[in-house]
Amino acid sequence: MVRLNRIYTKTGDDGDTSLGDGSRLPKHHARIAAYGTVDELSSVIGLALAHGVDERLHGWLRSIQNDLFDVGADLCVPGEAGDKLRLTPAYAERLERILDEVNERLAPLKSFVLPGGKPAAAWLHVARTVCRRAERHVTELAAREDERGRVNREVIVYLNRLSDLLFVLARAANDDGALDVLWQPGQNR
pLDDT digits (tens, 9 = 90+) for 20-39: 777 777 677 888 899 999 99
Asked if pLDDT for residue 159 goes beyond 70, the answer is yes
Q: CA 92 to CA 112: how far, in whole Å?
A: 24
Contacts 24+ apart (CB under 8 A), 143-152: 144/30, 147/30, 147/31, 147/78, 149/79, 150/78, 150/79, 151/75, 151/78, 152/74, 152/75, 152/81, 152/86, 152/87
Asked if pLDDT for residue 124 goes beyond 60, the answer is yes
Q: CA 136 to CA 37: how far, in whole Å?
A: 10
pTM of the full structure: 0.89
Asked if pLDDT for residue 4 goes beyond 70, the answer is no
Structural domain containing residue 60: 24-182
pLDDT band, residue 13 (cuts 50/70/90): low
Residue 17 lies in a domain: no
Q: CA 111 to CA 100: how far, in whole Å?
A: 20
Domain count, the chain: 1
**In this predicted structure, what is the pLDDT of residue 83?**
64
**In this predicted structure, what is the pLDDT of residue 23?**
76
C-alpha closest to that of 123 among 85, 89, 170: 170
Q: Please write the tens of the pLDDT for every residue from 71-113.
A: 999 999 887 755 678 999 999 999 999 999 999 999 888 889 9
Average pLDDT, rounded, for the chain: 90
Residue 8 lies in a domain: no
Portion of the chain with pLDDT greater than 70, in percent: 89
β 113-114/16-18 pair status: unpaired
